[in-house]
Structure 1
Amino acid sequence: MTPTDLDATALDAADPLAAYRDRFVGAETPLVYFDGNSLGRPLRETGPRLARFVEEEWGGRLIRAWDERWLALPESIGDELGRTCLGAAAGQTIVGDSTTVLLYKAMRAAVALRPDRREIVVDRDNFPTDRYVAAGVAEECGLRLRWIEVDRAAGVTADQLAEAVGPDTALVVLSHVAYRSAWLADAPQLTRIAHDAGALVLWDLCHSAGAVPVELDAWGADLAVGCTYKYLNGGPGSPAFGYVAARLLDQVVQPIRGWMGTADSFAMGPEHQPAPGIRRMLSGTPPVLGMLALQDMLALLGEVGIDAVRAKSRGLTAYAVEVAEDLLGPLGVTLASPRDPERRGGHVTLQHPLMREVAAALWRRDVVPDYRDPGGLRLGLSPLSTSYAEVARGLDVVRDTMRDLTP
């Protein structure tokens, strides 16, 4: 054993959440999975749940199940998500659609609430979809984009936002955890700055929900959107979630007016009458199958507690930084994430010009990170399914791979 192996063994032995790793499919294999912030491993109980659903609800109850349970799922699961992960009281969170569609709905609804203002503020390193949707909404509504230039190894600071917002700002679009660097934004402070300027804030929670505590109500957040296939382990293409603060629910008008967002979906009326509350953010038929795995993960997070998950996440990323600097620093690798664990979400990005080639070679060696330009190897360490030994083993392979590829 190397000293790194010994350290990992001790850390795993002391980890109060170590036993939960066995609940995930594939965790017992030698594959090193460094991409839990893109697609989480499935829980073992999810397969049997899906089979029961097919036999008992879909096959047994058929269309009756819509009235018996399915129609209520977007709101009931939304409430559970809000309670478990988002710091959101009941009635403000809905599950359905994709992240992109919900971002569009939320942005259009937000700018409509500030009709006399002409700007959307967004940072240059926000996730591409956020930037693309903001640009599209600006074009549709005759607005301007005001860009914040940020350090790609960090994220939006209070000073930068204060300089960008003003009397013409309708909406600020921010990520709670930056997808590239894992910068953890000071959400309460940034929300206050936007509100002091009279603007609304839309928080992207894709890289924080399920890994980092979120307190939407306490922050005074206006709107939020996030996905469920990363740290919430909902599976590929599982539906996104949207949040609208209770104080705005009777004002928001979302632009995709489908039958499920009406006050009486089965009245089939001639005109769209928005449903009361958060249900007005729905459009089409809820993706019931896509919600099932999410329910399993929410139950587990409720059992463990998001604070314990965050503590494990801080430990994993701190260990990854320490080992990477020891093993990879001599090869010219640098840290492209915040060094302070309190300013860092659940992943770590390592920088080197060879990382695109390294990432491709690692996949062939059963070590699975992902790559982000320029030269970023991103290690997504899902707290409940990742062990310290897995981190150590994977970084050993990264070192060997870099040595093989270095001229």
Structure 2
Amino acid sequence: MTTIEEARRRDEADPLHDYRERFHLPKGVIYLDGNSLGALPLATRDRLKEVVDEEWGHGLIRSWNDANWIDLPSRVGAKIAPLIGAQAHEVLACDSTSVNLFKLIAAALKMQSGRKVILSEPGNFPTDLYMIQGLQQQGLAEQRLAAPDEIEAALGEDVALLLLTHTHYRTGRKHDMARLTAAAHEAGALALWDLSHSCGAMPVHLNECDADFAVGCGYKYLNGGPGAPAFLYAAEKHHIDAEQPLTGWLGHKQPFAFEDDYTPAAGVERMLAGTPPILGLSALEVGVDLVAEMGIERLYAKSQALSEFLRECLSARGVELDLVSPDDPSERGSQLSFRHPEAYAISQALIARGVIGDYREPEILRLGFAPAYLRFEDMAETARHLAEILESREYERAEFNERAAVT
């Protein structure tokens, strides 16, 4: 049986196969970049039309009450909560991942009197490190970096917070959240997890792992649209002590009392700041509902199967690439990353053929697997295109070596 025949056999048996029809996917495109921007759910168009034409257009300002716009951060957050192993009242959909990181890092530092060190790893996603560095420039924090296998040893008595990305954006390597959170607590530190490359693609167990705080992205596997609102998690046990620095009016105990002095809300709502983006949250809610309907366990099982099948197809075609992702699919997220000195040009040659992945420095070809809408046949075809590009050295063409602003 050929790889394409085997792919079609697997597609016929796939319990998630029909969900592909609920996304807009351009004809002739194999989309392997859902780990950067998820595809458009068809229902999002109708929902946004309803929000624009009816709720905004007809309802006008009345929709803050009549359409419950004011509750969207809590409502969408409560829907995200089961996807990350949290309680509904511990999660809010709001702001960007960067802003939420700043709020939670600052809150954690204030809770850790006498400690200023924030421990992370070199090569963590830039915004995570940049937020630490911004607070360091203000004299509020001190950054310390440790290699993955040295993190526990670096958890000294001066560490206030351990900040790690659960699934590494470049390699797809997963950290052991339970073990590292326990190690942080043993050292007297708090733990903040970035779930941007995990949520919507694999099971996450924040409560079970006793995580203190978490943030995550709404526009990757949750399919919330470009620039979609992010989310944050604060464990219930911290709702009284966690004081975030962006004391905007919607984080107030009674925002419509319009008092001069700030009094924080009692629960996770104290992590709100400004007016919520209604269009963005409405689109995100559609994506979250769709992921919840498909089920995280089924999505993760298919993701692992897709990535392993692509490796089988590459091997069958004699393609040998340097895999920088963990070899064991249980130790990585929903992606495969390969190192090649011409990775950027290869990624551009693939895109020209309709196979859309992306490139990450240094020399990383990154292919993401959004199991909601990818087929096993897509894996077989990706392997064929990649084999042909490498064999013909198609990537040497000048147009594939011109760097774009976004890679």
* TM-score in same-fold range (> 0.5): yes
Query: How many Å separate the matches in 1 of 2:361 and 2:384?
Result: 23
How far 1:193 sits from its partner (Å)? 0.6
**Structure 1: runs of 5 or more not aligned:** 150-155
Greater shift in the superposed pair: 211-220 or 133-142: 133-142
Cα distance change of structure 1 residues 265 and 142 upon mapping to structure 2, 3 Å threshold: closer
* 1:14 partner letter: A
Cα distance change of structure 1 residues 328 and 252 upon mapping to structure 2, 3 Å threshold: farther
State the match for 1:66 in structure 2. 64
8 Å CA contact 2:100–2:215 kept in 1: the answer is: yes
State the match for 1:80 in structure 2. 79
Matches within 5 A, 1:148-159: 148-149=146-147, 156-157=148-149
Query: How many Å separate the matches in 2 of 1:204 and 1:79?
Result: 18
How far 1:143 sits from its partner (Å)? 2.9
The one of 287, 295, 298 equivalent to 2:285 is 295
Q: Alignment identity in percent? A: 40
The one of 386, 389, 407 equivalent to 2:374 is 386
How far 1:324 sits from its partner (Å)? 2.9
The one of 163, 187, 196 equivalent to 2:186 is 196
State the match for 1:231 in structure 2. 221
**Structure 2: runs of 5 or more not aligned:** 397-407
State the match for 1:18 in structure 2. 17
How far 1:240 sits from its partner (Å)? 0.4
State the match for 1:117 in structure 2. 115
* 2:344 partner letter: R
8 Å CA contact 2:132–2:141 kept in 1: the answer is: no
State the match for 1:278 in structure 2. 268
Listed one character per residue, the Cα deviations across residues 242-279 of structure 1 (whole Å, up to 9, x for unaligned) are 00000001111111111111111122211111111111
Moved over 6 A (4+): none
Matches within 5 A, 1:8-407: 8-26=7-25, 29-68=27-66, 69-83=68-82, 85-149=83-147, 156-157=148-149, 160-327=150-317, 329-330=319-320, 333-405=321-393
8 Å CA contact 2:121–2:164 kept in 1: the answer is: yes
Query: How many Å separate the matches in 1 of 2:63 and 2:378?
Result: 42
Aligned residue pairs, count? 394
* 1:201 partner letter: A
Q: SS at 1:374's partner residue? A: coil
TM-score (norm 1): 0.94
Greater shift in the superposed pair: 376-385 or 264-273: 264-273
How far 1:328 sits from its partner (Å)? 5.7
8 Å CA contact 1:321–1:348 kept in 2: the answer is: no
Q: SS at 1:121's partner residue? A: strand
Query: How many Å separate the matches in 1 of 2:193 and 2:318?
Result: 34
TM-score (norm 2): 0.94
Q: SS at 2:118's partner residue? A: strand
How far 1:297 sits from its partner (Å)? 2.1
How far 1:113 sits from its partner (Å)? 0.7
Greater shift in the superposed pair: 396-405 or 384-393: 396-405
Listed one character per residue, the Cα deviations across residues 341-387 of structure 1 (whole Å, up to 9, x for unaligned) are 11011011011111111112222221111001221110011011111
Listed one character per residue, the Cα deviations across residues 55-81 of structure 1 (whole Å, up to 9, x for unaligned) are 221112110111230111101110111
* 1:90 partner letter: A
8 Å CA contact 1:320–1:348 kept in 2: the answer is: no
Greater shift in the superposed pair: 205-214 or 299-308: 299-308
* 2:175 partner letter: A
Query: How many Å separate the matches in 1 of 2:265 and 2:353?
Result: 52
How far 1:9 sits from its partner (Å)? 1.1
State the Cα RMSD in Å. Answer: 1.5
How far 1:388 sits from its partner (Å)? 0.8
